[in-house]
């Protein structure tokens, strides 16, 4: 009789590009529904998605992710040289990891405090919160 050790259940692993998903730079520009635009007329509050905004997600091939709404800081303008560690130290709230599960890309933001379920679209773009992010630059 053989003794079989129980194994831990499989965990989602950060992904190098799996299947049809390719890491790289994803950009959305338009009326983004989660952006609050301040009202400087003296009234209290603001409005959601009232202004043209842009937001980007940058996916590494080893499962790291950075998101922002201004231009990425890449040495010499080369996005392939983006320093994920430096970006995470400077802006930990927008540093993340991701895993690929079929056509879904699971983003773990703020050390798991926020999870975003993105969907891979035909042609390699991503849908995040009902907004299409265009795959503009691959990692390689």
Domain definitions of the chain by residue range: 24-34+49-138
Instruction: Give the span between the Cα atoms of 26 and 19, in whole angstroms.
Output: 17
Mean pLDDT of 94-122: 87
**CA proximity to 64, closest of 44, 43, 83, 38:** 83
pLDDT for residue 113: 81
pLDDT for the residue numbered 92? 87
Task: State the pTM of this model.
Answer: 0.71
Fold type of domain 24-34+49-138: Lipocalin (2.40.128)
> Which residues make Cβ contacts (< 8 Å) with residue 42, sequence separation at least 6?
none
């Amino acid at each position: 009789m053989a003794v079989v050790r129980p194994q831990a259940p499989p965990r989602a692993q950060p992904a190098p590009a799996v299947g049809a998903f390719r890491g790289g730079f994803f950009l959305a520009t338009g009326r983004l529904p989660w952006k609050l635009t301040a009202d400087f007329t003296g009234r209290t509050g603001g409005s959601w998605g009232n202004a043209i905004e842009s937001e980007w997600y940058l996916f590494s091939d080893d499962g790291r992710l950075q998101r922002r709404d201004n231009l990425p800081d890449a040495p010499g303008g080369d996005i392939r040289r983006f320093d994920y560690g430096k970006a995470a130290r400077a802006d930990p709230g927008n540093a993340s990891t991701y895993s690929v599960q079929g056509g879904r890309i699971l983003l773990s933001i703020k050390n798991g405090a926020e999870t975003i379920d993105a969907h891979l679209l035909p042609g390699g773009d991503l849908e995040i919160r009902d907004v299409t992010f265009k795959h503009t630059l691959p990692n390689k």
